[in-house]
Amino acid sequence: MFSDPGYSNGYCRPQEGGAAPEHGALRPPHRGRGRRRGRRGRSHDPADSPASGGAPRVADSEQGVEQKPPPCTDFDMAYFHSYAHLGIHEEMIKNARRGGRHYVPDRVRTETYRTAIMRHQSSIAGKVVVDVGCGTGILSIFCAQAGAKRVYAVDASDIAVQANEVVKANNLSDTVIVLHGRVEDVEIDEEVDVIISEWMGYLLLYESMLGSVITARDRWLKPGGLILPSNATLYMAPVTHSDRYSDSIDFWRNVYGIDMSAMLPLAKQCAFEEPCIETISGENVLTWPHVVKHVDCYTVTLGELESVTTKYKFKSMMRAPLHGFAFWFDVEFNGPATSPTSNQVSSSFIESSNNQSTDVSQRKKRANPSEALVLSTAPEDPPTHWQQTMVYFYDPIDLEQDQLIDGSLTLTQSKENRRFMNIHLEYT
């Protein structure tokens, strides 16, 4: 077996002493009502005008609080501004979007959320809902259609202005209140029964929008309230992808009969120095997946998001070149009664080196769809706009069947910009 922890996969440079490669930061953009002042959140679709004949939908008055919210940085402003562009929201709603080299169906995301809302209609009808990072307001409208008494649609991006117009056009202004601002900075003068949010980023935690959901939960959610989705799991697995390597690298060995192999080092750097968002298939995956992190939205804390570390051990199922690692995630839409109640579940998954047990648990989870509604971004499932996050090596490694691959992975929020993520990957 290979035993050189200095192998570098495009994102990290090997450090002295055989330390693992650092895989550069993933860079973002992504997507929160009440009055200004609040907690953390990704927001994008807010309200701009007062509701007619009532209290303002958005108020600017500051209210005294025990703890000051984190300041809105230039990075935050750039992030919010990126979500003001309609193209991002179009990608997340439309039947297809341009993703890498493929058109990726995106109906899966929206229809799963609508199904989850209707499945939990008894918990939503007549209740108060907050939509964190509401974007165009589509999830807020689904909740209103499910009979919600009131929906606070919160978003810090200027797309909130259009969301408010969408709400008006659908005659839902009496139900859906759009709040233009960060979850940290808006005020809602009542407790809420339900929090819904499409907070997931690439690699699940990229863009840090989960922090906004945590803030909304701690500020407003009633005891026993519902959070959709309720929990999430991030996976990783080694992959082989010869076509991708050939397209990006081997192409330069012979260009119109000209030897351009001198371009190979630059080609590898340009193609693989950062994580890639691509769609692969189950045939590219060499082993059972490993659980990197399980997130219980009812109990997760902001501190848990700062750094995630796991050790892994894989056994290759076939003889093939190893080109890197793929990451994907699942989210489930359960009520608080069926959500994990402690981190013991997470730890038992993460600490297990038997990846077959991980797969068994996955198959058991999906065996009865009535038990849990799952939105999956796994390679074997219908593609979504998240696709998979790929970490490629500069050069492939030849694997034999049953060969072991072990190492560790650390994901940390960037200190310069918490919406970026640093990937530190070690492997042997």
Q: What is the mean pLDDT of the segment spanning 362-371?
A: 45
pLDDT digits over 73-120, tens only?
655 555 445 544 444 444 554 444 444 444 444 689 999 999 999 999
Q: What is the mean pLDDT of the segment spanning 250-279?
A: 93
Lowest mean pLDDT among 135-139, 209-213, 365-369: 365-369
Name the pTM for this structure. 0.74
* Distance from C-alpha of 399 to C-alpha of 2, rounded to nearest angstrom: 9
Residue 199 reports pLDDT greater than 50: yes
Residue 353 has a pLDDT of 36
- Which of the pair, 323 or 52, is modelled with greater confidence? 323
Alpha carbon distances (Å) from 5 to 1, 181, 311, 427: 12, 46, 14, 5
Residue 73 has a pLDDT of 66
Residue 26 has a pLDDT of 54
The DSSP symbol for 353 reads -
Residue 106 has a pLDDT of 65
Residue 78 has a pLDDT of 55
Residue 72 has a pLDDT of 67
Residue 77 has a pLDDT of 57
| Cis amide leading into 382 (omega within 30) | no
Instruction: Please report how many Cα atoms fall inside a 13 Å half-sphere around the Cα of residue 248, on the Cβ side.
Output: 23
Among 198, 278, 332, 426, the one annotated catalytic: 198
pLDDT digits over 400-427, tens only?
999 999 999 999 999 888 888 999 999 9
Residue 351 reports pLDDT greater than 60: no
Per DSSP bridges, beta strands 404-413 and 307-315 are: antiparallel
Residue 22 has a pLDDT of 47
Residue 138 reports pLDDT greater than 50: yes
Q: Any idea which residue has 């939503």 for tokens? A: 124
Positions of E strands within 106-169: 128-132, 150-155
* Distance from C-alpha of 265 to C-alpha of 262, rounded to nearest angstrom: 7
Residue 81 has a pLDDT of 56
In the annotation, is 198 catalytic?
Answer: yes
Check if the beta carbon of residue 124 is closer than 8 Å to that of residue 146.
yes
CA dihedral (45, 208, 302, 235) positive or negative:
positive
- Which of the pair, 13 or 175, is modelled with greater confidence? 175
Q: Which of 111, 174, 104, 105 is nearest to 138 (CA)?
A: 111
Residue 415 has a pLDDT of 87
Residue 212 has a pLDDT of 94
The highest-confidence range among 31-40, 370-379, 406-415, by mean pLDDT, is 406-415
* Distance from C-alpha of 6 to C-alpha of 252, rounded to nearest angstrom: 26
Residue 124 reports pLDDT greater than 50: yes
Among 207, 273, 274, 278, the one annotated catalytic: 207
Q: What is the mean pLDDT of the segment spanning 130-148?
A: 97
* Distance from C-alpha of 163 to C-alpha of 160, rounded to nearest angstrom: 5
Check if the beta carbon of residue 390 is closer than 8 Å to that of residue 273.
no
Residue 361 reports pLDDT greater than 60: no
Residue 337 has a pLDDT of 55
Positions of E strands within 240-302: 276-278, 290-296
- Reading the block at residue 50, the tokens are 């007062």
pLDDT digits over 159-184, tens only?
899 999 999 999 999 999 999 999 99
* Distance from C-alpha of 199 to C-alpha of 30, rounded to nearest angstrom: 8
Residue 418 has a pLDDT of 83
Check if the beta carbon of residue 39 is closer than 8 Å to that of residue 69.
yes
3-state secondary structure of 91: helix
Residue 428 has a pLDDT of 93
Whole-number percent of the chain with pLDDT over 70: 67
**Cross-strand partners of 231:** 296, 332
State the amino acid at position 63 in one-letter form. Answer: Q
Residue 372 has a pLDDT of 82
In the annotation, is 207 catalytic?
Answer: yes
